[in-house]
Amino acid sequence: MNLEKYLDSKRKIIEKALGNYLQAPSQKPQVLSRALRYAVLGGGKRLRPILVIAAAEQVNGNTPKAVPAACAIELLHAFSLIHDDLPCIDNDDLRRGRPTLHKIYGEGIAVLAGDALMALAFELLAQTGNLQVLSEVAQAIGRQGMIGGQIADLEAEGKKIKLSQLEFIHKNKTAALIKASIRAGAILGGADSQKLKILSNYGEKIGLAFQIIDDILNVEGQEEKIGKKVGSDNLKKKATYPKIVGLVNSKIMAQKLTREAKASLKNLPNGKILQELADYLLSRIK
Amino acid sequence: MNLEKYLDSKRKIIEKALGNYLQAPSQKPQVLSRALRYAVLGGGKRLRPILVIAAAEQVNGNTPKAVPAACAIELLHAFSLIHDDLPCIDNDDLRRGRPTLHKIYGEGIAVLAGDALMALAFELLAQTGNLQVLSEVAQAIGRQGMIGGQIADLEAEGKKIKLSQLEFIHKNKTAALIKASIRAGAILGGADSQKLKILSNYGEKIGLAFQIIDDILNVEGQEEKIGKKVGSDNLKKKATYPKIVGLVNSKIMAQKLTREAKASLKNLPNGKILQELADYLLSRIK
């Protein structure tokens, strides 16, 4: 199967499951039901849930528990986007080519809808019956993970920061949840400690590469492809790789991380999909 | 032991544990560490965590896992207060007699600090090793619980609503987490299904009574005792019991619920503390 077909088939499975996990638009309070569906079912690459499923498959073929875990991680990603887009944080009007949630439903509903998605995500993680996965995901999004990184990112706006500080931001803000996605799938698939170590390393590399690529696309991407305003990072004086090391060096770093991620898989059987996924992420900036 | 001494001793245990679970103020990002400590360690009755511990004790004397669960539920309560106080939701400047978190740290940090507390709460719940408790708590705070109730509350502002709608709001916004606190303690203590049913019923009754009492105190309480502005519900045109059924009937309902809560415990041994707790909550309006 080629990668595009693989991604499409997994996206279908994930979107169907997400639609089932979200309550019907008629369920009370209706405004919340509608807001959650708008935020979660409105497109997106579904990268993180695909990584969960691909990692589980790499270890153990078919792993039914990977789907609720994959959906939980996608809900956590959706929650983080809703809150980050708020006027008091990144103040973005556009997401995936549509108005952001607070532009449609107001800020109060957007805050609470994000909260509801986080709570639902942990309900789904509990369904996997795996406390290690649940605990790792909670840490990956928490004060020493995604949320900590987002706060460091806010703090760095308009300031001169070192590359090491930028690495801290990107590692936490983005790479932590991507690495946790890979680890969740691997653990649910029953990976032994050596396999888990290899896959964790892969997850960390592509996670960091992903944010560097995102930074690059914010400079030279196209609005219709990235679904948000090109140049918005610069306007907000965000700390980004292109700003700190330049566009050329950013591309070299993304390429190097992708190469390392792929190389780390060389001793694993059935690693082809994960290798192709790493290349696919990089291809967005070519 | 009299109740005041009991409450004090449990508060000390909970506050010590909360202080340990929160990272040191020097931990990066420092602004987040400081904000979390300000929000969580700044007083409060600690009612919910005390209910967790008291229910666990009722069933099984000493239950060490009750403390992390109790702290998790207190963190979830703190998260909900931070978000509800935001200008885009209830717009409160004062909480427990001090400026609300966003007045000190700004709205962006307040949103993200609330998020971090929710993530930490689920980390702690995972430590109890009990997926049923974790799952029930996730549901109690979610779209069909606290957050759903808060949204229904926002939607009802300034509108004429029926008593049944007000009951929906109060049951979800407040009673769901109080009931979950009792159930969490009971389950961790190893309650059988009959005991769990009795304690759940008690939790639901005092949960509803608690919100009615809170509504009454917002009308005729004292600012220095309730820690927030008296009359603020009325200013915001909130749907409350005094507004819908009047002050006298609200008091009668709170008394009736308290009586029923206590009566439901009559066949349980060691129920004295829980009975006294129900009276203690009611005594706030006497």
Q: Each residue of B238-279: pLDDT tens digit? A: 999 999 999 999 999 999 999 999 999 998 888 899 999 999
CB B92 within 8 A of CB B228: yes
Write down the pLDDT at residue A273: 94
Contacts of B131 in chain A (CB under 8 A): 126, 129, 131
d(CA B56, CA B14): 14
> Which of A109, A112, A154 faces B108 most closely, judged by CB atoms?
A154
B108 near A CB under 8 A: yes
Contacts of B141 in chain A (CB under 8 A): 115, 119
Segment B161-190 shows an average pLDDT of: 96
**Is a pLDDT exceeding 80 seen at residue B61?**
no
Count of CB pairs separated by less than 8 Å, A with B: 142
CB contact under 8 A, B126 and A142: no
CB B63 within 8 A of CB B188: yes
**Is a pLDDT exceeding 90 seen at residue B56?**
yes
Helices (H) and strands (E) in chain B, counts: 16, 2
CB contact under 8 A, B112 and A135: no
d(CA A31, CA A53): 32
Burial of A1 (0-12, 13-18, 19+ CB in 10 A): exposed
CB contact under 8 A, B155 and A29: yes
**Is a pLDDT exceeding 90 seen at residue B235?**
no
**Is a pLDDT exceeding 70 seen at residue B1?**
no
**B36, B147, B165, B169, best to mutate vs chain A, most A CBs in 10 Å:** B147
Q: How close B176 gets to chain A, by Cα (Å)?
A: 14
**B112, B130, B132, B171, best to mutate vs chain A, most A CBs in 10 Å:** B112
Segment B143-156 shows an average pLDDT of: 94
* Six-digit token string for A170: 């990107």
> Which of A32, A119, A151 faces B109 most closely, judged by CB atoms?
A151
Write down the pLDDT at residue B63: 81
CB A73 within 8 A of CB A137: yes
Taking 70 as the pLDDT cut, the residues of chain A under it are 1, 286
Write down the pLDDT at residue A1: 64
CB contact under 8 A, A131 and B135: no
d(CA B129, CA B66): 11
Strands (E), chain B: 94-95, 98-99
Q: How big is the CA angle at B137 (ends B106 and A187), to the nearest 5 degrees?
A: 95
CB contact under 8 A, B119 and A115: no
Say which residues have a Cβ less than 8 Å from residue A80's Cβ, sequence separation at least 6. Answer: A114, A141, A146, A147, A150, A177
Q: How close B89 gets to chain A, by Cα (Å)?
A: 5
**Is a pLDDT exceeding 70 seen at residue B86?**
yes
Write down the pLDDT at residue B230: 86
Write down the pLDDT at residue A226: 79
Beta bridge partners of A98: A95
ipTM of this complex:
0.96
C-alpha dist (Å) from residue B36 to A26, A152, B91: 36, 15, 19
**Is a pLDDT exceeding 80 seen at residue B286?**
no
What is chain B's mean pLDDT, rounded? 94
Write down the pLDDT at residue B223: 81
Write down the pLDDT at residue B256: 98
**Is a pLDDT exceeding 90 seen at residue B62?**
no
Domains of chain B: 3-283 (1.10.600.10)
